[in-house]
Amino acid sequence: MAEPVLPDAPQRDAMLPEVLAQLFVTTPEAEALISGVRDALSLKNVTWQTAGANIDDALAYLDDEESGHILLIEKDRSLPDFITALDALAAKCDPQSRVFVIGRGDDEADAIAAYRRMMAVGVTDFILLPARPARLHGSLLDAFLSESRPKLGTSTAFISAGSGSGSSTVAQNVGYAIAEVLGRDTLLADLDPQYGTLAINFNLTNPRDLLAIEHTPGSIDHRVLWQTAERMGTHLKVLPTLPDLEHAPDMARSIICSVLEIPYQHDVHVVIDAPDAWTDTKRELLRRVDRLVIVAEPTLTGVQNVENTKRALERMECDPQHVSLVINQARQPGRTEVPLKEIEAATGFSVLAVLPYDARLMGEAEAAGTIPLAVSEKRPLARAVIALARSLSDQGEDDIPGQLTRLWRLLRKWW
Region 170-185: mean pLDDT is 95
Whether residue 45 has pLDDT greater than 80: yes
Contact 124, 71 (CB under 8 A): no
Using N-to-C axis directions, what is the helix angle for 111-120 and 300-315, rounded to 10°?
Answer: 50
Is the predicted pLDDT of residue 414 greater than 70, yes or no?
A: no
Question: What is the layout of strands, in order, in the sheet containing 98-104?
Answer: 46-52, 19-24, 70-74, 98-104, 125-129
Residue with the larger pLDDT of the pair 220 and 313: 313
255/218: higher pLDDT: 255
Residue 2: its pLDDT value, please? 38
Single out the residue of 325, 316, 320, 382 nearest to residue 160, CA to CA: 325
C-alpha distances (whole Å) from 408 to each of 374, 404, 405, 411 are 18, 6, 5, 5
**3-state SS class at 13:** helix
Cα→Cα distances 40→46, 130, 225, Å: 10, 20, 23
Q: Is the dihedral of CA 376, 160, 196, 142 positive or negative?
A: positive
Residues 201, 161: contact at Cβ < 8 Å?
no
197 SS3 class: coil
For residue 295, give the 3-state DSSP assignment. strand
Percent of the chain with pLDDT over 90: 51
Residue-wise pLDDT tens digits, 215-251: 776 667 788 888 889 998 889 999 999 888 888 888 8
Q: Which residues contact 310 (CB under 8 A, 6 or more apart)?
A: 347, 348, 349
Chain centroid to CA 174: how far? 16
**CA distances (Å), origin 178, targets 15, 108, 173, 366, 386:** 30, 42, 9, 21, 8
Give 262-275 as a DSSP string.
HHHHSS-EEEEE--
C-alpha angle with apex 246: 244 to 251, nearest 5 degrees? 65
Q: Which amino acid is at 358?
A: D
Q: Report the distance separating Cα 37 and Cα 51, nearest Å.
A: 18
Position 110 confidence tier, pLDDT thresholds 50, 70, 90: confident
Angle between helices 111-120 and 79-90 (to 10 degrees): 20
* Residues forming a β-bridge with 335: none
pLDDT above 70 covers a percentage of the chain that reads 89
CA angle 357, 360, 363 (to 5 degrees): 105
**Nearest alpha carbon to residue 161 among 293, 359, 356:** 293
pLDDT of residue 191: 93
CA distances in angstroms from 267 to 189, 288, 320, 386, listed in the order given: 16, 17, 25, 20
Query: Residue 208, Cα to own-chain centre: how many angstroms?
Result: 24
Question: What angle, 0 to 180 degrees and rounded to 10, lies between the N-to-C axes of helices 133-148 and 28-38?
Answer: 50
- The whole-angstrom distance between residue 346's C-alpha and the CA centroid of its chain comes to 24
Separation of alpha carbons 366 and 69, rounded Å = 53
Higher pLDDT, 244 or 37: 37
Q: Are 239 and 214 in contact (CB under 8 A)?
A: no
Cis peptide bond prior to 298, omega within 30° of 0:
no
Cα separations (Å) of 303 from 273, 316, 339, 344, 393? 21, 20, 11, 9, 26
pLDDT at position 1 is: 33
Could you tell me which residue, 156 or 279, shows the higher pLDDT? Answer: 156
pLDDT band at 195 (very low <50, low <70, confident <90, very high): confident
Beta strands in 200-290 (DSSP E): 230-231, 236-239, 269-273
Residue 246 has a pLDDT of 85
Least trusted range by pLDDT, from 67-71, 217-221, 379-383? 217-221
**Stretch (H or E) spanning 52:** strand 46-52
237-259 CB burial, b ≥16 within 10 A, e <16: bbbbbbbeeebebbbbbbbbbbb
Q: Could you tell me the pLDDT band of residue 349, with boundaries at 50, 70 and 90?
A: very high
